[in-house]
Amino acid sequence: MVEGTGRCRTIGKLEREPMRLPDFALERFFARWEFRAEMLLCASDVEGWPMAELLALADEDSRRRWDGLRLGYTESPGLPDLRAEIASLYRGLSADDVLVFSGAEEAIFALHSVSLAAGDHAVVVRPAYQSLAEVARAAGAEVTRIDLRESAGWRLDVAELRAAVRPNTRLILVNEPHNPTGGLSDRATFDEIAQVAMEACARLVVDEVYRYLEFDPDDRLPAGAEMGGSNVAPGAAVAPGSAANARAGALPGVSIGVMSKSFAMAGLRIGWIATRDRELLARLAAFKDYTTICASGPSEILALMALRARETVLARNRAIVLGNVARLDDFFARQGGLFEWVRPRGGSIGFPRLLADYPIDRFCEELVTETGVLLAPGSVFAAAGNHFRLGFGRTNLPEALARLESFAARTFGG
C-alpha cells in the first residue's frame, strides 16, 4: 500500500510539462497580489460599476427580463438581443455577426484554436497581453513578434510588419488602444496595417477591449470587424482595380470586445467576437461547446442593460480615466527626474519607466509591501528595462499616487 501510494505521488508530480501553455506572467502576478494589495495602481479595468447603479439604468424591457430571469442554460451563441446590441457598436454588422464569450480571454482562446495550426504563422505585437501570442503558439503556429518601441512612441512600424509577413501568415494581431502602453495607431497607420493583412491574405484581428477610451474621440479607429471582406452589396458592379474590388478579396477582419474595460464591468465576464465571416463564427461556435457552452444568464441581461445605456456608462468611465490622466500629467511633470512616460493616447493603462538605477521588480515589491500600492513590473510583460504598468481607471488613484510619491522620495531622496 505504502509503496503504491509513493508510486502514485511520483506519477502525480507531473515532471513533464502538463500543457503547452506557459504560465501567464501577469495573471500569476495578480494571483499573488490582486486581492492582498490595498490599492491597485496597475489595474487595467475601470472602477467596477456598482450593481445597484446599473439596475437603476435599466430600460423597461431589460428590467422585466432581470426580474423574471430563470437560471437555466442560455442560448449558446449569446442572447439574441444582446448580440444585436453588440452588433450596433459596429458599422454594417448584425446580431448574426456576433458570438458572445465568457470574457475576451475565452474569445482569444477560441479564435486562435480554430484559426491556427502547425505550419501556420501569426504576427503579434510586443509587448502584449500574453495570451494573444501564447495561445497562438500553443495552437501550433509560429509567431513573429513586432516590437513596439518606447523611442518610437510605442508606435507600430508598418515596414517591420510588412517584412514579417510570410506566405503562411494567417493572422495579424494588433491591440488598439494597446495594453500595456496605451498606444494607439493613427488612422493612416491602421489603414496600412489592414492593407498588409489584405495583401498577405491574412486575417486582421484587433483586440479592442479598450475601445471607447480614446482620450480624443476623433482618434477612435474603425473596428477590426469593419475592415477587410466585402462591403459591397451582393450583385453590385465593382470596377476592376478599384479599392472596393481589392477589399472584396480580403478576409473579413475580427474585433475582440469585452464589458470589462471601457464598460467597467469585468465581473460580468461577457466578451465577444464580431466579424462578417460567418464560416469563422460557425467554427468558433462549435469550439465553444468544449469550453463554456453558453454565457452566464444574469450577466447577459446586465450586459444588455449596460449597452443600452452605453452613453451614460461610457461618460462616467471616460470621466474617471480623463480626470486621472490630468493628475498623472502633473505627477510626471513633478517627477520628471525619476519617472518618465510616453503619454498614452487611449485606454486605462500606460507603461512608464523608472529612471533610477534600481531594479523595477524590487521597487514594485518594496512599494506594495510598505505602502499597499501595487504596480506591475515590466517583467510580467517580458519587457526589458525599468518599465512598469500603471493603471488609471480607479477612483483611488490620487491616494495611491500620493503614496507612490512619498515612497519614491524616501527611497531615492528628494
The interface region with ligand PLP, picked from 68-76, 101-109, 158-166, 234-242 by CB under 6 A, is 101-109
Taking the least distance from each CB to ligand PLP, the nearer of 352 and 393 is: 393
Closest distance between ligand PLP and the C-beta of residue 405, in Å? 26
Q: Confirm or reject binding of residue 258 to ligand PLP (CB under 6 A).
A: yes
The interface region with ligand PLP, picked from 3-11, 92-100, 220-228, 258-266 by CB under 6 A, is 258-266
Q: Confirm or reject binding of residue 208 to ligand PLP (CB under 6 A).
A: no
Residue in the shown chain whose Cβ atom is closest to ligand PLP: 103
Give the residue, chosen from 47, 85, 105, 214, that forms a contact with ligand PLP under the rule CB under 6 A.
105
Closest distance between ligand PLP and the C-beta of residue 44, in Å? 5
Taking the least distance from each CB to ligand PLP, the nearer of 253 and 271 is: 271
The interface region with ligand PLP, picked from 68-76, 102-110, 312-320, 327-335 by CB under 6 A, is 102-110
CA distance 178 to 77: 27
Give the residue, chosen from 97, 134, 207, 300, that forms a contact with ligand PLP under the rule CB under 6 A.
207
The interface region with ligand PLP, picked from 98-106, 279-287, 385-393, 400-408 by CB under 6 A, is 98-106
Q: Confirm or reject binding of residue 176 to ligand PLP (CB under 6 A).
A: no
Closest distance between ligand PLP and the C-beta of residue 184, in Å? 13
Q: Confirm or reject binding of residue 260 to ligand PLP (CB under 6 A).
A: yes
Q: Of 124-153, which residues contact ligand PLP (CB under 6 A)? A: 129
Q: Confirm or reject binding of residue 179 to ligand PLP (CB under 6 A).
A: yes
Taking the least distance from each CB to ligand PLP, the nearer of 211 and 403 is: 211
Give the residue, chosen from 29, 42, 44, 133, that forms a contact with ligand PLP under the rule CB under 6 A.
44
Taking the least distance from each CB to ligand PLP, the nearer of 44 and 371 is: 44
Q: Confirm or reject binding of residue 266 to ligand PLP (CB under 6 A).
A: yes
What is the SS3 string spanning the chain?
Answer: CHHHHHHHHHHHCCCCCCCCCCCCHHHHHHHHHCCCCCEECCCCCCCCCCHHHHHHHCCHHHHHHHHCCCCCCCCCCCCHHHHHHHHCCCCCCCHHHEEEECHHHHHHHHHHHHHCCCCCEEEEEECCCCHHHHHHHHCCCEEEEEECCHHHCCCCCHHHHHHHCCCCEEEEEEECCCCCCCCCCCHHHHHHHHHHHHHCCCEEEEECCCCCCECCHHHCCCCHHHCCCCCCCCCCCCCCCCHHHHHHCCCCCEEEEECCCCCCCHHHCCEEEEECCHHHHHHHHHHHCCCCCCCCHHHHHHHHHHHHCHHHHHHHHHHHHHHHHHHHHHHHHHCCCCEECCCCCECCEECCEECCCCCHHHHHHHHHHHHCEECEEHHHHCCCCCEEEEECCCCCHHHHHHHHHHHHHHHHCC
Give the residue, chosen from 209, 328, 342, 354, that forms a contact with ligand PLP under the rule CB under 6 A.
209
Taken in order 310, 311, 316, 322, the sign of the CA dihedral is: positive
Residues that bind ligand PLP (CB under 6 A): 44, 103-105, 129, 175, 179, 207, 209, 258, 260, 266, 271
